[in-house]
């Protein structure tokens, strides 16, 4: 399966979160709230790898969710809702179709890390969190 198909599957799942923009590639500019997908690593030659059959490949993505300026109370409340397991949950959205529209065997969101301020545009600090997404495909 192609990386672009996997990205598209993750993006489609994230698009189910009301009010959240999704960037399947790192954008030049953005408007929060936005989920930005980036590929962090690929592990080849997993289970069932032979000379004639490609084995399992593990794709590790980071979904960075940027919600707004650091000083905004609304930004913190919005980020909290994305981190929780409620209706706006990033984890639930990504795992809502674990095959990512047929692009993968399975995917899982095992953790959320790096909550805090990030400077992404000039002198403006935004509140963001990173979600790890592990995708198993061939």
Find where tokens 């990386």 sit: 3
**pLDDT (tens digit, 9 = 90+) per residue, 80-108?**
999 999 999 999 999 999 999 999 999 99
Give 138's pLDDT tier (boundaries 50, 70, 90): confident
pTM: 0.90
Residue 99 exposure: Cα atoms within 13 Å on the Cβ side: 3
The number of distinct structural domains making up the chain is 1
Instruction: Give the pLDDT confidence score for residue 61 in this predicted structure.
Output: 98
**pLDDT (tens digit, 9 = 90+) per residue, 11-64?**
999 999 999 999 999 888 888 999 999 999 999 876 665 555 567 899 999 999
Instruction: Give the pLDDT confidence score for residue 72 in this predicted structure.
Output: 80
Domain that holds residue 81: 3-137
Instruction: Give the pLDDT confidence score for residue 69 in this predicted structure.
Output: 83
Q: What is the 3-state secondary structure (H, E, C) of 11-60?
A: HHHHCCCCCCEEECCCCCCCCCCEEEEEEEEEECCCCCCCCCCCCCEEEE
Q: In CATH, what number is assigned to the domain containing residue 107?
A: 3.30.70.1700
């Amino acid at each position: 399966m192609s990386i672009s198909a996997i990205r598209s599957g993750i993006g489609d799942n994230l698009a189910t979160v009301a009010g959240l923009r999704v960037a399947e590639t790192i954008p030049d500019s953005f408007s929060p709230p936005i989920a930005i997908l980036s590929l962090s690593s690929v592990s080849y030659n997993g289970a069932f790898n032979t000379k004639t059959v490609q084995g399992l490949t593990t794709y590790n993505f980071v979904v960075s969710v940027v919600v707004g300026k650091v000083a905004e109370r609304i930004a913190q409340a919005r980020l909290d809702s994305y981190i929780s397991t409620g209706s706006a949950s990033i984890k639930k959205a990504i795992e809502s179709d674990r095959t990512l529209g047929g692009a993968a065997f399975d995917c899982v969101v095992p953790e959320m890390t790096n909550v805090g301020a990030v400077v992404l545009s000039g002198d403006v600090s935004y509140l963001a969190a990173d979600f790890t997404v592990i995708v198993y495909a061939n």
